[in-house]
Amino acid sequence: MILETLDWIIIIIFLLISLYIGLKFKDKASGSLTDFFLAGRNLPWYIAGLSMVATTFAADTPLWVTEVIKKNGISGNWLWWNMLIGGMLTTFFFAKMWRKANVLTELEFLELRYSGKVTKLFRKFKAVYLGLFFNTIIIGWVNAAMIKILMIFLNIDYPTAFIYIAILMILIAVYSSLSGLLGVAITDALQFTLAMGGCIVLAIIMLNSEQVGGVVGLKEKLPEWRFNFFPNLNGTNSDIGTFGLTIGAFFSFVAVQWWASWYPGNEPGGGGYIAQRMMSTKNEKHAVLATLFFQIAHYALRPWPWIIVGLCALIVYPDLPMNEAGNGFVFAMRDFMPTGYRGLIFTAFLGAYMSTISTQLNWGASYITNDLYKNIDTENDEVLFQKKLVLIGRIATVSIMAIALVITSFIDTIDGAARFLIASSAGLGAVLILRWYWSRINIWSEISATIAPIIGFVLSKFVVAPLFERSCNAGNSFVENEGILLFTTLFTTIAWLSVTFLTKPENDETLKKFYQQVEPLGAWNSVREKLSLPKTKSQIPALIACWISAVTLTYSTLFFIGKLIFEEYYYAIINLVIGVISFIVLRYFMFNTKIFND
Report, as ranges of residue numbers, the positions in the chain whose pLDDT lies below 50. Answer: 598
Local structure of 232: helix, strand or coil: strand
pLDDT at 559: 97
Q: For residues 285 and 294, what is the distance between their CA atoms, to the nearest angstrom?
A: 14
Per the CB < 8 A criterion, the answer to whether 331 and 70 are in contact is no
Q: For residues 15 and 417, what is the distance between their CA atoms, to the nearest angstrom?
A: 35
pLDDT at 101: 95
The total number of residues written for the chain in this structure: 598
Q: For residues 399 and 362, what is the distance between their CA atoms, to the nearest angstrom?
A: 11
pLDDT at 106: 92
pLDDT at 481: 64
Query: Quick one: how far is CA 554 from the chain centroid?
Result: 17
What type of residue is 434?
A: L
Alpha-carbon dihedral angle through residues 237, 238, 243, 248, given to the nearest 10 degrees: -10
Nearest one of 52, 41, 133, 39 to 91, comparing CA atoms: 52
Alpha-carbon dihedral angle through residues 574, 578, 579, 580, given to the nearest 10 degrees: 100
Q: For residues 226 and 76, what is the distance between their CA atoms, to the nearest angstrom?
A: 9
DSSP 54: H
Per the CB < 8 A criterion, the answer to whether 29 and 178 are in contact is yes
Per the CB < 8 A criterion, the answer to whether 37 and 393 are in contact is yes
Question: H/E element holding 300?
Answer: none
pLDDT at 476: 62
Q: For residues 166 and 164, what is the distance between their CA atoms, to the nearest angstrom?
A: 5
Residue 16: Cβ within 10 Å count: 11
pLDDT at 475: 53
Number of H helices, E strands in the chain: 30, 0
pLDDT at 417: 64
